[in-house]
Structure 1
Amino acid sequence: MASSSSFDVVSDFDRQELVNAVDQTSREIGTRYDLKDTKTKVELGDNVITINTDSEFTLQAVHTILQTKAAGRKLSLKIFDYGKIESASGGRVQQEIKLQKGISTELGKQISKLIRDEFKKVQASIQGDAVRVSAKSKDDLQQVIQRLKQEDYPVALQFTNYR
């Protein structure tokens, strides 16, 4: 048995589930009576979703549909970073939604400080866009996970590589 156990705190999302949520959103827009004739387009890029529609009112309706589909596929709504609404050609509006992935350095420092302050037997180290948490006792690691779930961070947290 290993002398110490560890896990990683990451912020990530399942890309395939996001593809499915965007696809379902596009299909629902095509079938809904109030959105059918708006020629709304929802396009998924590498790190961004682009919505092009005829008014801010229909844009809000598309947001609601997208959020509902994402939540139904167990995606956190914190992955969406809504950009400003811009005018597009033909009196239409367009908005880019950036997809948040990874833990920033500042947030990594905040998480590791919380762990250091509250759990004396646990070590936390920042590794790129993840935080590695290690301890001798798996019970201590479970307590850290429970404590981090209580906090409301601006990104969705997952706990991976638990060993």
Structure 2
Amino acid sequence: MAKESSFDVVSTVDMQEVDNAFQQAKKEIAQRYDLKDSGAEISLDKANQTITVAAPSDFVAGQVIDVIGSKLVKRGIDLAAVKWGDAQAAAGQSVRRVASVVDGIDKDTASKINKDIKATKLKVKVQIEGDKLRVSSASRDTLQEVISFLKGQDYGQPLQYVNYR
């Protein structure tokens, strides 16, 4: 019997890269003529993995979010990993928007991925291990098919395929 091969499906974000993008965005907001004196502020909470934007209006908040998004993309962070909440009214007429950085695959998404892989009828075993999935099979070609299938799906967060052996 051939040795089983496997890989892990994970969803991770490098918080150091998020911090670097945040610092670049903060610098650009301080220098850009249309945002310089607008009163817009951004903050990053590494522990809770959240980005907070406080701005005097919805329009300015949208501009700041666009700046942050462009810096994240340049740093190689998929924008699907950042979930922006709705605008909340803050002091005066200002608005606040909070984004959470998605790290790990939650149980609902993991079970949906598991169900979709089983629906392909490929001969693989899928195990949910905390915030990742381990997919194993005797055939490496089958594992490659699973990876290409998952790349074609949208689960609302970026997926990486690691520990391929």
Q: TM-score range by the shorter chain?
A: over 0.9
Q: Distance in 1 between matches of 2:154 and 2:86?
A: 24
- The alignment status of 1:108 with 2:110, answered yes or no, reads yes
Deviation at 1:63, TM superposition (A): 1.0
Aligned residues: 162
Q: Which residue number in structure 2 is paired with residue 141 of structure 1?
A: 143
Q: 2:90 aligns with which of 88, 91, 99?
A: 88
Letter in 2 for 1:161: N
Query: Given the two structures, how large is their TM-score scaled by the length of structure 1?
Result: 0.93
Q: Distance in 1 between matches of 2:124 and 2:156?
A: 24
Q: 1:120 aligns with which of 111, 119, 122?
A: 122
CA contact (8 A) 1:115 1:123 kept: no
Deviation at 1:22, TM superposition (A): 0.8
Q: Which residue number in structure 1 is paired with residue 15 of structure 2?
A: 15
Unaligned runs of 5+ in 1: none
Query: Given the two structures, how large is their TM-score scaled by the length of structure 2?
Result: 0.92
Letter in 2 for 1:82: W
Question: Superposition RMSD on alpha carbons, in Å?
Answer: 1.4
Q: Provide the secondary structure at the position in 1 that maps to 2:86.
A: strand
Q: Which has the higher helix share?
A: 1
Q: Distance in 1 between matches of 2:109 and 2:96?
A: 30
Q: Provide the secondary structure at the position in 2 that maps to 1:139.
A: helix
Greater CA deviation, 7-16 or 85-94?
85-94
CA contact (8 A) 1:7 1:134 kept: yes
